[in-house]
Amino acid sequence: MSTLAEDYEKTEMGTIQIAPEVIEIIAGMAAAEVPGVAGMSGGFAGDIAEFLGRKNMAKGVKVEVGQREASIDVSVVIEFGMRIPEVASGIQHNVKQAIESMTGLNVVQVNVHIHDVVFKGADKVEEPETPAQRVK
């Protein structure tokens, strides 16, 4: 992760700098709202932060930022049954659009890494049928 150059954006009032962590949060939120994304896949540090009760919006996102360009890596978990190429393309589009519109940076690439596939109702426990439900 690199920091932005000192002269990122000069105005009459001074300079404007956007921290890479802000871009990570924007990318993470944009990726998470794509249909078919079950969640973000972070590393060990991201999992510990969530365990301690802090919501990590940048989980699963790595950013490289230059003066005017950014390169993004997004690691996600996909819902079972979804077309992975379509979900990945949606992530790329959403992340690029969000970062470019909010920061003015040119996003040169969005790399999507699929780390897992989960079933939608995997954690639901089925209740046994009662005799009244069997008779219809």
Assess if residue 42 is contained within a domain.
yes
Per residue in 11-66, pLDDT tens? Answer: 788 888 889 999 999 999 999 999 999 989 876 544 544 444 556 778 899 999 98
CA distance 20 to 80: 32
Note whether residue 111 is domain-resident. yes
Three-point CA angle 46, 70, 63, nearest 5°: 10
Residue 132 lies in a domain: no
Token output for 39? 């969640």
Task: Report the percent of the chain where pLDDT is more than 90.
Answer: 54
Is 129 part of any domain? no
| DSSP reduced 3-state for 114 | strand
Domain membership flag for residue 11: no
In percent, the amount of the chain with pLDDT more than 70 equals 72
> Which residue, among 81, 107, 83, has the nearest Cα to 96 in the 3D structure?
107
20-32 and 84-103 helices, crossing angle to 10°: 140
Which range of residues forms the domain containing residue 59?
17-118
Position 110: which residue type?
Answer: V
